[in-house]
Amino acid sequence: MRTTRAIRTPGGLSVRLDVRATVVIALILLAALTASVVLIGTGDFPIPAGDVLKTLLGNGNAGQEFIINELRLPRVLVGLLVGASLGLGGALFQAVSRNPLGSPDVLGLSQGATAGALTMIVLFSGSAAQITLGALVGGLVTGLAIYLLAWKQGVHGYRLVLVGIGVSAIVTAVNGYLLTRSTLTEAAQAVVWMTGSLSGRDWAQVWPLLWLCAVLVPLVLVNARGLRMMEMGDDVSHALGVRVERVRLLLLVAAVLLTAAATAAAGPVSFVALTAPQLARRLTRSPGPNLLPSLCMGATLLVTADWVSQKVFGADQLPVGVVTGVLGGVYLLWLLVTERRAGRI
């Protein structure tokens, strides 16, 4: 039995509050902040958590302030923002497609962003800013292609997933071709980027992601009610006054932008968008898309994975995308087995 409270404001507004989901979100946020503080203190020059907190509050010495504020804090913030963007984007794709496998990794969005980045690396020897722009454009073009190919008097879940899988295969082949056209130096640079890494990230990657999230996250949450109604079917949603295709297109564009921007900032970090919404749903036990819990779970997963990679293999020895790939692959196998036993696949 779920515990739901209704909160009414003096202005007459009423908000239903799911107590369990609220507690889960608070605990996930606490885990994300704890992992972030520990991660900031991890490296060749270890810093105790207490000193990290003092430095973040402006009470550290000059050496600690330089290491934390200039070297480590931007990397952690990029990790939090990338994880949050992937978690929210994955939740949107899974809700729109009504399929737990409907994530950017499966639908080809990450591969499309990779194609854009590889194009800038191989064909134009682009700078870091140009590679980022190429990844963003590649993700947007791929998302538009999937939407148009899946359109047939509207976009439906399984058709979106099937078209996405086909586009993913095509773009993966294009990526392989681009690698064969590259020099040894370009191929090495491309492979490092394609793995997904937070190494070397600075404030230049933080601010664009922060502004994008500041615009898109409230927009998505405002439309969360319509998305939840759409899970009952298009006909029911129409009857309840939801402009189904308008809401679906708006949320898909937001999901593509979030995924492409995250990929542009850190490379195609795999499986976070797939696993974060499912883990959030299992913790909250709440129906609906679970957008806010998925956002928080994505941020927690990525900074925790980055801490694991640094703790086990040393700073910058193992890209975070390798860790999320291993953990996500195990989770995907478990999910497939569970869906098969339930008779859904």
- As a whole number, mean pLDDT of residues 235-248 equals 69
User: Are 297 and 276 a contacting pair, CB within 8 Å?
Assistant: yes
pLDDT recorded at residue 340: 74
Q: How many Å apart are CA 278 and CA 292, to the nearest integer?
A: 13
Whether residue 1 is predicted with pLDDT greater than 50 in this model: the reply is no
Give the pLDDT band of residue 313 (cuts 50, 70, 90). confident
Per-residue pLDDT of 104-120, as tens digits, reads 888 888 889 889 888 88
Task: Report the chain's mean pLDDT, rounded to a whole number.
Answer: 83
Whether residue 210 is predicted with pLDDT greater than 50 in this model: the reply is yes
Global pTM value: 0.88
pLDDT recorded at residue 213: 92
Work out the percent of the chain whose per-residue pLDDT is above 90. Answer: 18
The number of beta carbons lying within 10 Å of the beta carbon of residue 305 is: 27
- As a whole number, mean pLDDT of residues 96-106 equals 79
Give the pLDDT band of residue 12 (cuts 50, 70, 90). low
- As a whole number, mean pLDDT of residues 267-274 equals 87
pLDDT recorded at residue 311: 80
Q: How many Å apart are CA 304 and CA 170, to the nearest integer?
A: 32
Whether residue 2 is predicted with pLDDT greater than 60 in this model: the reply is no
DSSP 8-state symbol, 66: I
Q: Is 5 helix (H, G, I), strand (E, B) or coil?
A: strand
pLDDT recorded at residue 345: 60
Give the pLDDT band of residue 150 (cuts 50, 70, 90). confident
Which contiguous run of DSSP H or E holds residue 14?
Answer: strand 14-18
| Cα dihedral 307/308/311/312 (nearest 10) | -160
Most confident of 60-64, 207-211, 239-243: 207-211
| Angle, vertex CA 72, rays to CA 71 and CA 74, nearest 5 | 85
Q: How many Å apart are CA 243 and CA 31, to the nearest integer?
A: 37
